[in-house]
């Protein structure tokens, strides 16, 4: 029996402002030429309501906690299992784009094509921001990335002398640290590693489908960690190795594409690379993700993946290929088995499936034919009925009531996945078992109450009934969840409560007032009596609440008076557990108050805030 530890689900939403051209730029920083094409782009939209359940993990497939997921001006933070939830938001069927950032990693992103009312599954593998070399900016030089699976064992990046600039445009003359990664376009999980998807804009601002012959991520840093780029009038040279199985189809010249990551999440045609001694070599004037792509006319298709008996296959990897082995699209089916996206126009497509989300077992291929116009291809039915089995059950919370917002973690052999159930906590799901595993294990998770049960295993048969499954494990987690207005966050670190030696009052401290980290917050609360019960706004000696940042300014705090007693129009705290020093204090609260911004200016309108917590008492 294995226990799945679930900590806080971090979903801190904030609003971001659009990037503007730095008016202080003195002209030494290269202007991104892709912006001319982006400015001419007028994409088709098909807006709808839907949700996204995603996971973020590293190159070792370990979850990344506290990653910042940004979508439509809001920020969501991953929990300890790398999960994030974007629930009931406006999405775009023709292209919903979000980004993912975490300290120590290259920026990741994904572009998906949802259906109305759907729950969509998205996976992002972040690449470690490791240095591959250090150069002197005044002399330049070259660095190498070791690669595998290509005809040449390394990727080369070359810089001329005096070609580096700071973000404000000033030329830079110190040491330059180069962080870079090569992305193998033939990797089965390339859709999880690469930014966006395989949709691009050619130099006429026309949408095209893309076939990749190689990708690269590059970032430059100065001696003090400052970000650098290529100076105006300078270029760097990129040399891409070609995967062995793509050599025969490699053209003599191929367009170089940069990735636009601020608004649309789309590749933009910029330069040209030429084939020289088995390598594609080209020059670039700025750094982002770069790729060498062959463009095709594009067409939008959608379909539904079904079992032989007509049931949907949910959260199942779909890969589309041309010429048998060249990938052109990839993604996971939604909670009704639907998939959608852009594919090369007028080219025969083959659909293949991969078991669960770790891409360790590819087994089924279906010829879809070619498409010349947008088309709903309807149901795509699998024939391998012996490799499909069904699991069912019901999720219960610690009070043996139905879970109101849940998911299940599923393991089959050495592969695993998760299914978001939301309110539908009585489930029946179809799974693939192409490796003929003998056992399936599931763990039930109560999202709202931040609780997970113990793993339960059963032998695989055509129908596996788990019955009632508890989300109540051996230990309750420690957390503090806060919602201000429409923005929420949960912290699982830097949380504690303390009592004075007579145990007549309790102090709650969450976060560090000096640690102004985006997506975190600070709360300090002194309560005269910490016994189980309900307390009003006159039962507190002190309360302070600061968010970093909030939707108002760089940070905001509850307005304070004499000395820093928050201005509250209402406040209620319910203590549900207090086991004294060495134990825990738990409860929930809600209130309404006036906030001030970083300049101590009052923010118009009162804002409601609420939360729940379970803290260790020191």
More confident position, 560 or 323:
323
Is 7 part of any domain? no
Answer yes or no: do 401 and 461 share one domain. Answer: yes
Backbone dihedral angles phi then psi of residue 58, each to the nearest 5 degrees? -95, -170
Q: Is the pLDDT of residue 336 over 90?
A: yes
DSSP secondary structure code for residue 409 in this structure: E
Q: In angstroms, what CA-CA distances link 376 with 45, 176, 206?
A: 17, 50, 22
207 with 237, same domain: the answer is yes
pLDDT of residue 2: 37
Note whether residue 25 is domain-resident.
Answer: no
439 located within any domain: yes
What CATH code is carried by the domain that includes residue 70? 2.60.40.1120
- Claim to verify: residue 427 and residue 405 sit in the same structural domain: yes
pLDDT tops 80 at residue 456? yes
For the cut 70, the answer to whether the pLDDT of residue 27 exceeds it is no
For residues 580 and 602, give the distance between their C-alpha atoms in angstroms, rounded to a whole number. Answer: 38
- Contact present, 259 and 196 (Cβ < 8 Å): yes
pLDDT for position 283 = 96
Q: In the chain, what percentage of residues exceed pLDDT 70?
A: 78
Domain termination residue (choose one: 256, 275, 296):
296
Torsion over CA: 409, 411, 414, 417 (sign): negative
**pLDDT of 361:** 56
Q: Which three-class secondary structure string do you get for 171-204?
A: ECCCEEEEEEEEECCCCCCHHHHCCCCCEEECCC
The tens digit of pLDDT for each residue in 501-547 reads 444 556 665 555 444 444 456 666 666 656 777 877 666 655 566 65
- Per-residue confidence (pLDDT) for residue 223, from 0 to 100: 95
Q: How far apart are CA 398 and CA 403, in angstroms?
A: 9
Alpha carbon distance 324, 468 (integer Å): 44
Identify the burial level of 203 via C-beta atoms within 10 angstroms of its C-beta, where 0-12 means exposed, 13-18 middle and 19 or more buried. middle
In the predicted structure, residue 326 carries a pLDDT above the cut 90: no
Query: Under DSSP, is residue 144 helix (H, G, I), strand (E, B) or coil?
Result: strand
Q: What is the pLDDT at residue 312?
A: 93
pLDDT at residue 6 above 80? no
Task: Decide if 228 contacts 220 (C-beta within 8 A).
Answer: yes
pLDDT value of residue 472 = 86
Average pLDDT value for residue range 487-507: 62
Considering the domain boundaries, does residue 9 fall inside one? no
Looking at per-residue pLDDT, the higher value among 433 and 101 belongs to: 101
| Sheet (strand 119-125) strand order | 83-92, 47-57, 119-125
Mean pLDDT value across residues 580-608: 76
Q: Which pLDDT belongs to residue 426?
A: 93
> Does residue 99 sit in the same domain as residue 157?
no
**Better-predicted residue by pLDDT, 33 or 412:** 412
Q: Mean pLDDT over residues 64-78, rounded?
A: 90
Digit-coded pLDDT (tens) for 248-296: 889 999 999 999 998 999 999 999 999 998 899 999 999 999 999 999 9
CATH number assigned to the domain comprising residue 422: 2.60.40.10
| Structure tokens that stand for 337 in this block | 């088995």
CATH number, domain containing residue 196: 2.60.220
Asked if residue 562 has pLDDT above 50, the reply is: no
- Write down the pLDDT at residue 245: 81
492 and 571 in a single domain? The answer is: yes
Looking at residue 77, its pLDDT comes to 87
pLDDT of residue 18: 35
197 with 265, same domain?
yes
How far does the chain reach from its first CA to its final CA, in angstroms?
32
Among 351, 383, 415, residue at a domain's last position:
383
Of 367, 383, 399, at which residue does a domain stop? 383
- Same domain? For 601 and 493 the reply is yes
Question: Looking at 30-137, which runs of residues are DSSP E strands?
Answer: 47-57, 68-71, 74-77, 83-92, 96-101, 108-112, 119-125, 131-136
Band (pLDDT 50/70/90 cuts) for residue 13 is very low
- With contact defined as beta carbons under 8 Å apart, do 588 and 576 qualify? yes
The confidence score (pLDDT) of residue 187 equals 83
Say if residue 197 is in the same domain as residue 146: yes
Q: What is the pLDDT of residue 371?
A: 95
Q: Look at residue 124 and tell me whether its pLDDT is greater than 70.
A: yes
Are residues 411 and 377 part of one domain? no
| Each residue's pLDDT tens digit, 377-405 | 999 988 765 678 999 999 998 888 999 99
Question: Is residue 567 domain-shared with residue 525, that is, in the same domain?
Answer: yes
pLDDT in tens, 185-213: 888 788 899 999 999 999 999 999 999 99
Residue 181 CB-density burial (10 A; 0-12 exposed, 13-18 middle, 19+ buried): buried
Q: Are residues 548 and 443 in the same domain?
A: no
User: Across residues 301-321, what is the average pLDDT?
Assistant: 90
Asked if residue 85 belongs to a domain, the reply is yes
Residue 14 confidence (pLDDT) above 70: no
- Segment of 74-88, 152-166, 289-303 carrying the highest mean pLDDT: 289-303
Residue 390 forms part of a structural domain: yes
DSSP string of 511-578, one letter each residue: S-TT---TTEEEEEEEES--SSEEEETTSEEEEEEEEES-SSSS-EEE-EETTTEE-EEEEEEEEEEE
What is the structure's pLDDT at 574? 82
Tally of domains in the chain:
5
CB-based contact 231:165 (threshold 8 Å)? yes
Residue 17: pLDDT over 60: no
pLDDT of residue 1: 36
Q: pLDDT category, 550, cuts 50, 70, 90?
A: very low
Whether residue 22 lies inside any domain: the answer is: no
* Radius of gyration in angstroms for the set of CA atoms belonging to the chain, rounded to a whole number: 26
Residues 302 and 291 in one domain: no
> Is 2 inside any structural domain?
no
Q: What is the pLDDT of residues 418-431, one digit of tens each?
A: 999 999 889 999 98
Q: How confident is the model at residue 3 (pLDDT cuts 50, 70, 90)?
A: very low
Can you give the pLDDT at residue 559?
Answer: 61
Residue 38: pLDDT band (50, 70, 90) is: very high
207 vs 95: CA distance, rounded Å: 12
Q: Which residue has the tokens 């600039």?
A: 165
What's the domain range around 562? 479-616
**Averaged confidence pLDDT in the chain:** 82
């Amino acid at each position: 029996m294995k226990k799945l530890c679930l900590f806080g689900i971090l979903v801190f939403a904030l609003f971001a402002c659009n990037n503007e051209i730095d008016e202080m730029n003195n002209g030494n920083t290269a202007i991104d030429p892709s912006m001319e094409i982006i400015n001419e782009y007028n994409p088709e939209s098909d807006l709808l309501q839907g949700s996204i359940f995603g996971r973020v993990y590293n190159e070792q497939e370990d979850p990344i906690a506290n990653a910042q997921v940004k979508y439509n001006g809001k920020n969501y933070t991953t929990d300890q299992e790398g999960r994030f939830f974007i629930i009931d938001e406006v999405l775009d069927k023709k292209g919903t784009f979000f980004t993912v950032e975490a300290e120590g990693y290259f920026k990741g992103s994904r572009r998906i094509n949802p259906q109305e009312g759907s729950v969509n599954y998205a996976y992002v593998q972040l690449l470690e921001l490791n240095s591959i070399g250090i150069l002197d900016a005044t002399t330049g030089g070259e660095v190498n990335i070791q690669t595998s699976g290509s005809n040449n064992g390394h990727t080369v990046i070359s810089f001329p002398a005096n070609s580096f600039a700071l973000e404000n445009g000033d030329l830079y003359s110190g040491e330059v640290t180069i962080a870079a990664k090569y992305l193998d376009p033939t990797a089965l999980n390339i859709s999880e590693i690469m930014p966006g998807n395989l949709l691009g804009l050619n130099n006429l601002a026309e949408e095209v489908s893309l076939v990749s012959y190689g990708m690269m991520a590059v970032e430059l840093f100065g001696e003090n960690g400052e970000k650098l780029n290529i100076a105006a009038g300078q270029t760097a040279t990129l040399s891409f190795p070609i995967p062995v199985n793509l050599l025969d189809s490699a053209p003599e010249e191929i367009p170089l594409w940069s990735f636009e990551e601020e608004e649309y999440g789309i590749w933009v045609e910029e330069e040209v690379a030429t084939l020289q001694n088995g390598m594609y070599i080209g020059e670039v004037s700025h750094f982002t993700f770069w790729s060498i792509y062959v463009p095709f006319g594009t067409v939008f298709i959608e379909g539904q993946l079904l079992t032989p008996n007509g049931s949907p296959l949910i959260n199942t990897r779909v890969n589309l290929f041309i010429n048998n082995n060249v990938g052109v699209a990839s993604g996971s089916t939604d909670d009704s088995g639907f998939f959608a996206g852009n594919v090369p126009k007028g080219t025969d497509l083959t659909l293949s499936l991969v078991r669960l989300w770790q891409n360790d077992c590819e087994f089924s291929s279906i010829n879809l034919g070619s498409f010349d116009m947008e088309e709903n291809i309807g149901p795509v039915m699998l024939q391998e009925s012996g490799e499909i089995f069904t699991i069912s059950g019901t999720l219960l919370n610690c009070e043996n009531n139905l879970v109101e917002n849940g998911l299940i973690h599923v393991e089959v052999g050495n592969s695993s996945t998760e299914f978001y159930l939301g309110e539908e906590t009585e489930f029946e799901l179809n799974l693939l078992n192409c490796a003929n595993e003998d056992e399936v294990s599931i763990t039930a998770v109560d999202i709202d109450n931040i609780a997970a049960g113990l793993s339960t295993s059963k032998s695989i048969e055509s129908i596996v009934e788990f019955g009632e499954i508890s989300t109540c494990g051996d230990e309750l987690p420690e957390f503090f969840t806060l919602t201000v207005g429409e923005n929420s966050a949960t912290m699982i670190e830097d949380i504690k409560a303390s009592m004075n030696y007579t145990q007549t009052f309790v102090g709650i401290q969450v976060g560090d007032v000096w640690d102004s980290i985006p997506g975190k917050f600070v709360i300090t609360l002194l309560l005269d009596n910490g016994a189980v019960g309900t307390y009003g706004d006159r039962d507190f000696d002190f309360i302070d609440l600061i968010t970093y940042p909030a939707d108002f300014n760089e940070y905001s705090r509850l307005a304070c008076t004499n000395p820093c007693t928050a201005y509250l129009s209402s406040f209620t705290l319910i203590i549900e557990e207090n086991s004294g020093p060495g134990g825990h204090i738990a409860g929930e609260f809600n209130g309404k108050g006036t906030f001030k911004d970083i300049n101590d200016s009052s923010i118009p309108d009162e804002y409601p805030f609420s939360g729940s917590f379970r803290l260790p008492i020191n």
